[in-house]
Amino acid sequence: MKFKNSEKLYQQGLEHLVGAVNSPVRAFASVGGNPLFIKKGKGSKIIDVDNNKYIDYVLSYGPMILGHRNKNVEKAIQKALRNGYTFGASTKNEIKLAKIVCAAFPTIDKVRFVNSGTEAVLSALRLARAFTGKDKIIKFSGCYHGHSDALLVAAGSGLATLSLPGSKGVPEGAVKNTLIANYNDLESVKKHFEKHDDIAAVIIEPIAGNMGVVLPQGNFLKELKAYVNSKNALLIVDEVMTGFRSKFGGAQELLGITADITCLGKVIGGGFPVGAYGARNEIMEMVAPLGDMYQAGTLSGNPIAMAAGIATLTALKKQDPYEQFNETANVLERILLAKAKKYNVAIEVNHFGSMINPFFTDKAITNFQEAQQSDTKKFAIFFWEMINNGIFLPPSQFEAWFLSTVLSEKDIDKTEKAIDKAMKAVANM
């Protein structure tokens, strides 16, 4: 493949865009080379500005679960556009989408829509502090919850991709109330509670998707929930990535836990900027205008995003693709393991629902420290070989691959051929 036009746009972008990108992982820092610029997408495919076609396993990092330009979503967007873009006032579709979300999550009575996952999380933290009257938060190393100051420590894929331990510009005071625990390690949580009596909440990704795909082990989540609540603290479950990706609702239900506060995003906006946080009435009624926890946003509940979200969730409810997602993920896992074995390449594959990720290591991955032992040089070779064979993957070892409902058997066959070539290239590095 040739990337002449992407390279040209990259050079142009350097003049007025930071690193020629608007989100760091798009810069391809961990895989080398210049980033690709995408022109359009349809179904399971995207096409770059050099007219190279790819099967898309990035899916805008999750939202495009129905594939690109789904006809029902596009029709809903066009209808909404004819009525206006934004009003700074309430619209009927906000109520309709809220009803769908609340019905899908037994732990949510009321929801507040915002503009991004970052907004959802920072609002949920404020709400937890307001409800408990405490200040400190526990997060897990490698879990990413957006780029708000208080959580931009030990934050997974974006920072790991750039080999940054944290972020400049985050003052010490902003993170003084943030405590770090180890994923799948309840004892690391207990140690914090033993030292501090002012912990408001623990926040966690039920499936950690920003250190690859890392699953909770054994009864970790159930024991975590019970312990946190026994200490009069709240469990915030960040389902920005996992919401509606493993079932119609949240991964928390499949994993047997009940969040006190749930954060959502990505899929619920159907490709448009959106986020949400929700909880039982007792907690949500502390939010303005009902309560004293203030949070606002000019474009929150944007009518175009609401229309896209309603159409996306309606289609998912009708299609119920989750069993097929599991089957497809199992097929991809078998392919990855078989091709790796063929060329004597050590890998581990983790998947959950419609999320999957291979790690270039011979050890099981259950936390961020283990994920960081993966061979990122091998991943970079694998990545570019996949690109050159028409498969678009996240340009980071620490990002999940996502599946869409429009992924076909032909797509899987092409993916298998590409994986074979990519594993061979890794073996010959």
Q: Residues 267-312: pLDDT tens digits?
A: 999 999 999 999 999 999 999 999 999 999 999 999 999 999 999 9
Q: For the chain, how far is it from start to end, CA to CA, in angstroms?
A: 20
Q: Both tokens of residue 39?
A: 């022109």
Q: Is 74 exposed, middle or buried (0-12, 13-18, 19+ CB in 10 A)?
A: middle
Give the model's pLDDT for residue 149: 77
334: Cα within 13 Å, side-chain hemisphere: 8
Taking the CA atoms of 109, 112, 118 and 122 in sequence, report the sign of the dihedral they define: negative
Give the model's pLDDT for residue 171: 73
Of 319, 340, 367, which marks where a domain is finished?
319
Give the model's pLDDT for residue 172: 74
Q: At what angle do helices 186-195 and 220-230 cross, to 10 degrees?
A: 10
111 DSSP 8-state letter: E
- Specify whether the CB–CB gap between 59 and 393 falls below 8 A: no
Give the model's pLDDT for residue 176: 83
Residue from 391, 369, 372, 370 nearest 382 by CA: 391
What is the rounded CA–CA span in Å between residue 126 and residue 141?
21
Q: Are residues 414 and 311 in the same domain?
A: no
Give the model's pLDDT for residue 165: 36
Q: Are residues 104 and 141 in the same domain?
A: yes
Residue from 195, 189, 179, 187 nearest 136 by CA: 179
Q: Are residues 329 and 311 in the same domain?
A: no
Range of the domain at 393: 4-69+321-427
Segments of the chain scoring below 70 in pLDDT: 153-167
Q: Are residues 199 and 294 in the same domain?
A: yes
Give the model's pLDDT for residue 303: 98
Residues 6+ positions from 343 with CB-CB distance below 8 Å:
423, 424, 426, 427
Q: Are residues 265 and 407 in the same domain?
A: no
Strand 53-56, strand 348-352: pairing: unpaired
Say whether 283 sits in a helix, a strand or coil. helix
Our CA angle for 328, 275, 408, nearest 5°, is 20
Q: Are residues 65 and 109 in the same domain?
A: no
* Helix (H), strand (E) at residue 278: strand 275-279
Q: Are residues 170 and 94 in the same domain?
A: yes
Give the model's pLDDT for residue 93: 98
Catalytic residues: 144, 238, 266
Q: Are residues 105 and 233 in the same domain?
A: yes
The CATH number for 44's domain is 3.90.1150.10
The CATH number for 191's domain is 3.40.640.10
Q: Are residues 305 and 212 in the same domain?
A: yes
What is the rounded CA–CA span in Å between residue 268 and residue 114?
11
Q: Where would I find the beta strands (DSSP E) of 129-191?
A: 136-140, 178-181
Number of other CB atoms surrounding residue 316 within 10 Å: 22
Q: Are residues 120 and 62 in the same domain?
A: no
Give the model's pLDDT for residue 420: 98
Q: Are residues 53 and 125 in the same domain?
A: no
Alpha helices in 139-200 (DSSP H): 157-161, 172-175, 186-195
What is the rounded CA–CA span in Å between residue 73 and residue 271?
10
Burial 236-265 (b: 16+ CB within 10 A, else e): bbbbbbbbbbbbbbbbbbbbebbbbbbbbb
Of 302, 319, 336, which marks where a domain is finished?
319
Give the model's pLDDT for residue 321: 98
Give the model's pLDDT for residue 169: 76
pTM (2 decimals)? Answer: 0.94
Residue from 10, 21, 27 nearest 396 by CA: 27
Give the model's pLDDT for residue 154: 53
Residues 6+ positions from 413 with CB-CB distance below 8 Å:
none
Number of other CB atoms surrounding residue 361 within 10 Å: 18
- Specify whether the CB–CB gap between 203 and 196 falls below 8 A: no
Give the model's pLDDT for residue 167: 67
- Count how many domains the chain has: 2
Of 277, 301, 319, which marks where a domain is finished?
319
Strand 110-114, strand 136-140: pairing: unpaired
Give the model's pLDDT for residue 72: 97
Q: Are residues 157 and 143 in the same domain?
A: yes
What number of H helices and E strands is found in the chain? Answer: 15, 14
